[in-house]
């Protein structure tokens, strides 16, 4: 089975045929779609249109494919749609955790930068 998928770097995804997305909406929601790449995930072929380069799209597809296969082996899920949702939840949890870690690191950098700036200012006065 073949699907068409639009990926925007602003974080908007659309599976055409399931969610219709007009060209005018795609320009409002993110950068205009530039190129198409055919990828396979869990035995399904997707035509992905993205402003990411082909290698990045392929790497993302391979990552999702691996996650789905790993989860399928562990949980013995019979429904592909159920497996896809469970995989999406696991990837979202991973993303959420990494984003939280990034925020904590950013805050620590800001605090240390403020202290360094204060030290420099104090030494100059």
Over residues 13-71, the pLDDT tens digits come to 555 544 333 333 444 455 455 678 999 999 999 999 988 899 999 999 999 999 999 99
* pTM for this entry: 0.68
Mean pLDDT of 100-112: 97
Give pLDDT, residue 35: 79
Tell me the CA distances in angstroms from 117 to 36, 76, 108, 120, 125, one per residue in order. 47, 55, 14, 5, 13
**Domain ranges in the chain?**
2-76
């Amino acid at each position: 089975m073949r699907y068409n998928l639009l990926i925007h770097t602003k974080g908007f995804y659309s599976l055409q045929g399931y969610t219709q997305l007009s060209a005018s909406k795609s320009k409002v929601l993110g950068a205009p779609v530039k190129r198409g790449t055919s990828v396979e995930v869990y035995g399904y072929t997707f035509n992905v249109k993205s402003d990411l380069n082909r290698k990045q799209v392929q790497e993302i597809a391979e990552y999702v494919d691996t996650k789905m296969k790993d989860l399928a082996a562990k949980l013995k899920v019979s429904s592909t749609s159920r497996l896809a949702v469970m995989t999406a939840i696991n990837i979202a949890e991973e993303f959420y955790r990494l984003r939280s870690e990034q925020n904590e690191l950013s805050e620590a950098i800001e605090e240390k930068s403020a202290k360094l700036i204060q030290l420099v200012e104090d030494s100059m006065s």
